[in-house]
Every structure is written in structure tokens, then in C-alpha cells.
Amino acid sequence: MNLGRITGQVRIVGAGLLGASIGLGLRAKGVDVIVHDASRSTVNLAIDYGAGRAPLDDDTPTLVIVAVPPDVTAEVVARELAAWPRATVADVASVKVGVLDELIAAGVDLDRYVGSHPLAGRERGGASAARADLFIGRPWVVGRGEPFRRRAVEDVVIELGAIPVAMSAAEHDNAVALISHVPQVVASLLAHRLAGASDAAVALAGQGLRDTTRIASSAPELWVQILGANSGPVAQILRELQAELGVAIDALETPDAPGARRAIAELLAGGNTGVARIPGKHGTSRHFSQLVVMVDDKPGELARLLTEIGEAQVNMEDLRLEHSPGAQFGLAEISVLPEKEALLISELEARGWKIAETFA
């Protein structure tokens, strides 16, 4: 039985990664979740994973969440609003202006509609990749709307452990163009350079390349829709990047020309300024020190390292792992508060760990 914020049934239309993850999270809270999808096999898979149950003739959902691709979101939202005249209908599409414009153009009454978007996901899609904890600690944009309807969506956001953020549709689309959509394009363009690279060159790849190309494995079919639906803001940022790339290219082609090195330095310094604004743990802007620890490639070593960090009474703020091809060890990059760095190095070295490097 649900004893949380949500009362009544929640109907989820679209049983992919987001829809199934929402279902899993709400089911864990005891919510009666109904799962629907145009694909019978997709909805059956989501139900098998525990994301909800099949629809029944006497269902009366109080909230409908539409989790379908952006190009059909408005159509499905309109249909669900008509089918359930008492329910709040929300979508989780990654673009908002286009959906809103389509609904307005179709003359749909928007009193019960709330646009939303959880900033969470994985490189893999589908119900098989769904996780009940996918949204924990992640921002979830909730659009403007009638307060009662908006609260119904915010209740879901909070129950799933996410952080509700109020934004208009235009504010949202401009923001995600910068923090999500353009990074996808840049990562894909960089990763595309690897397609024609030699095996020897690719074998040298380290964590920097892995970090900057990780999202390049995302599904092209979905991203064609997302980028097309938010093309204006994305194109504008890409034009700005193009201008800065032009500056970098000109400077690199004539590195001894007056001002060339300064131009490169200023571009890099601008990157320092920008990355410093990215929120860290718990949304703070505090920076941490990093130390890289060599970990033997054998069972139990990483677990031992984490245990001994805890025994040293040091809170680990972040962890990244890198494996060197052919090497019998890995590198664990540990982030800690700067004032704890010296203590942790001392404790780990005393326990026989080798510190490869440290940096702030």
C-alpha cells in the first residue's frame, strides 16, 4: 500500500528506459502503476521487470506520464488528456517548446497538462536497462502549470528522489541545448575521428578520451529526434563553438604569430572558468583534491581500498576507475576534501598502497 505523497493510480505511456524506470521507482513506493506501450512486447518486458501492470477496463488514473519519443509526444499527450478527463497528464520529453507549440496549434486544453523532463539517463535504452534509482539526486525540470497539477508531478519527482526545478519551456530548451544536446554532438564528432584511426593510436586511449566520448554510444535514432526538435538553440551554440574553433585553428596554424599563444591560453582558461561552475556533490560548487591509487588487478583489491579509505575516516567524494590495456593493475582516482588529502595519502601509504599522482 502506498503511504507516500502519491494517491491513486499512475498510468505510464511508453515502457522504455524512462517510463520503466519511473514505474520501477513508484512500484517500490507501493504505487499502483499501469504500463502501456504501442508495442506489446515492450510493455510485456517492462511488466516482467516489475515496472507496473497491464491496463484494466476499470482503471481510473489520477496521473498519466507520457514517456514516448519527442516526435509523437504531443499526439500522445492530447490523446491521454481526452481519454482521462480527470487526470493530470505530464510528459518527460527532452524538449519542451515543440511539444507545447504542437498542443497549442491543435487547440488542446492545457489546464491539466504539465511538461517535465528528468535529467537522467543511461547509454543503453529500453526496459531491460531501467533502474528504480535512476533519478536519485538528479534535477527534474517541471514546467509552468496550474498549481494543483504541478504539485501532482512534483510529488512523483520527490518520491523518486529527484530534485524538482521550475523552468519555462523556452528556458528548459535553451538550458539542455548547452548541458546535454551540444555535448552529445561534440562527443559524437570526436568519437567519429576514432573510426579511421589506427589500432595503435586507439590502443593509447586513456581516461580523458573515455570521459569525453562516453555518451557517443547513445542511440542515433533517438538523438536525431531530440536534436531536430531543439535545433535552433543547438545550432546557435554550435555556431559559437565554430567561431572559437576558428580562433584555435588560426592560432595553431601560425603558433609563432604575435598573440597566437595568448589566444590558445585564453580559450583554455575559459574552459577552466566554465568547468568550475559545474555543480559538484550535492549540487555544491566546492572543488576536491584527487589522488590516483594503483590497484592490483585481482579479486577483492578495490573493495579493500574502499574499506581502508573508510577506516581512515575520510569521506570519498567521487571515484573513477581506469584500466590500462595489458597492465596487471588499474588506477583509482579518488576525490576528497583538500584538507583530507595529506591524511589519506599517509594512511594509504602506511597500508602499502602506491599513490601514482595527486592533483587539485
Nearest to residue 120, comparing CAs of 111, 107, 110, 131? 131
Confidence at residue 54, expressed as pLDDT on a 0 to 100 scale: 97
Confidence at residue 208, expressed as pLDDT on a 0 to 100 scale: 86
For residue 209, which amino acid is it? L
Q: Name, in order, each residue with C-beta under 8 angstroms of 144's C-beta and a sequence gap of 6 or more.
A: 150, 166, 168, 169
- pLDDT for residue 127 is more than 50: yes
Number of CB atoms found within 10 A of residue 44's CB: 15
67 and 92 Cβ atoms separated by less than 8 Å: yes
- Average pLDDT in the chain: 91
Residue with cell 554550435: 238
- How many percent of the chain have pLDDT more than 90? 73
69 and 225 Cβ atoms separated by less than 8 Å: yes
Q: How far is CA 58 from the centre of its chain?
A: 36
In this prediction, residues 145-156 reach a mean pLDDT of 95
Q: Name, in order, each residue with C-beta under 8 angstroms of 241's C-beta and a sequence gap of 6 or more.
A: 182, 186
* Span 240-294, pLDDT tens digits: 999 999 999 999 999 999 999 999 999 999 999 998 888 765 444 556 788 889 8
Confidence at residue 320, expressed as pLDDT on a 0 to 100 scale: 83
Q: Which fold has domain 9-167?
A: Rossmann fold (3.40.50)
In this prediction, residues 231-247 reach a mean pLDDT of 97
In this prediction, residues 147-159 reach a mean pLDDT of 96
Identify the weakest region by mean pLDDT among 63-72, 141-150, 198-207.
Answer: 198-207
Confidence at residue 288, expressed as pLDDT on a 0 to 100 scale: 79
Cα 328 to Cα 146: distance, rounded to the nearest angstrom:
59
Q: Name, in order, each residue with C-beta under 8 angstroms of 125's C-beta and a sequence gap of 6 or more.
A: 16, 17, 219, 222
Give the strand order in the sheet containing 329-336.
318-323, 329-336, 289-296, 354-359
Banded model confidence at residue 329, pLDDT cuts 50, 70, 90:
confident
Q: Which segments of the chain belong to CATH 1.10.3660.10?
A: 173-275
Banded model confidence at residue 359, pLDDT cuts 50, 70, 90:
low
Confidence at residue 282, expressed as pLDDT on a 0 to 100 scale: 46
Confidence at residue 213, expressed as pLDDT on a 0 to 100 scale: 93
Identify the weakest region by mean pLDDT among 25-29, 67-71, 284-288, 340-344.
Answer: 284-288
152 and 164 Cβ atoms separated by less than 8 Å: no
Banded model confidence at residue 211, pLDDT cuts 50, 70, 90:
confident
Nearest to residue 61, comparing CAs of 11, 114, 12? 11
- pLDDT for residue 204 is more than 80: yes
- The pTM for the full model equals 0.79
155 and 163 Cβ atoms separated by less than 8 Å: no
DSSP 8-state class, residue 351: T
Cα 42 to Cα 38: distance, rounded to the nearest angstrom:
8
163 and 139 Cβ atoms separated by less than 8 Å: yes
235-273 b/e (C-beta count within 10 Å ≥ 16 → b): eebbeeeeeeeeeeeebeeeeeeeebeebeeeeeeeeee
CA distance from start to end of the chain: 49
Sign of CA dihedral 70, 75, 79, 85: positive
Query: Which cell numbers in the block locate residue 166?
Result: 521550475
Cα 325 to Cα 344: distance, rounded to the nearest angstrom:
28
Q: Which segments of the chain belong to CATH 3.40.50.720?
A: 9-167
For residue 49, which amino acid is it? Y
Domain spanning 283-359: which CATH class is it, in words? Answer: alpha beta
Domain spanning 173-275: which CATH class is it, in words? Answer: mainly alpha
60 and 34 Cβ atoms separated by less than 8 Å: no
Distances (CA, A) of 33 to 15, 160, 251: 12, 14, 58
- How many percent of the chain have pLDDT more than 70? 94
Number of CB atoms found within 10 A of residue 148's CB: 10
Phi, psi angles (nearest 5°) of residue 32: -80, 105
Phi, psi angles (nearest 5°) of residue 292: -105, 120
CA dihedral 141, 147, 148, 151 (to 10 degrees): 30
